[in-house]
Amino acid sequence: MTEKSCREIHQMLVDYADGQLSPSQSSEVAEHLAGCRRCSDALKALQRSLELVQVVWEDGWADAQAIHISKRVKTREIPRWAYATAAAVLAVAACWAFWHYLNRPAPQALTVAEIERRITDEGMAARLLATAELLAGKPYAEELVKSQYNYIVERYPSTEAAATAKTRIR
Ligand SMILES: [Zn+2]
């Protein structure tokens, strides 16, 4: 069982948990899970995250902003598992990002669009970082966490989250 095939399985896990895979793909994943502790642990973690997401939705914590984010995530081709776990920590991360933004010096000569973009970037980067932190230290997620940190640094270079991610990569 190579690392590469585990990575491929990881990418299919959300669809697997959702029952979105074709029967042949689904049995392929099931077969792999039966023989791979790392991947079955990842599935368990994912299922817990999905349960949390459901609780968040049902409690009405997720608002129109969350829908907006899920669209952005799709267009940027972040793996869906990242969105699922990110959504689980959405409430905390969003509050943190907003609080952080409020406590910054008032920006000068910025357009509303620019301010909005920065809030969105900080929030998005903070969510992605929180996801990575949530999975950090779990052996089955090592590669995913590493690529998540790299993604944050590349995509949101000017954010606090990117600064933190940079220290994690080293
Ligand atoms: Zn595996």
Q: Is the pLDDT of residue 92 over 60?
A: no
CA of 165 to the centre of ligand 1 (A): 26
pLDDT digits (tens, 9 = 90+) for 15-74: 787 778 899 999 999 999 999 988 888 888 777 766 665 555 455 444 434 444 444 444
3-class SS letters over 129-151: HHHHHHHCCCHHHHHHHHHHHHH
**Residue 156, domain extent:** 3-169
Whether the model pTM is above 0.95: no
The Å distance, Cα 33 to ligand 1 centre, comes to 6
Report how far ligand 1's centroid is from the alpha carbon of 80 (Å): 18
Number of domains in the chain: 1
Q: How far is the CA of 136 from the centre of ligand 1 (A)?
A: 18
pLDDT at 139: 74
Report CA(113)–ligand 1 centroid distance (Å).
44
pLDDT per residue as tens digits for the range 128-158:
888 788 878 777 777 778 888 888 898 889 8
Q: Ligand 1 centre and the CA of 6: distance in Å?
A: 4
* Sign of the alpha-carbon dihedral angle for 87, 127, 133, 92: negative
153 and 169 Cβ atoms separated by less than 8 Å: yes
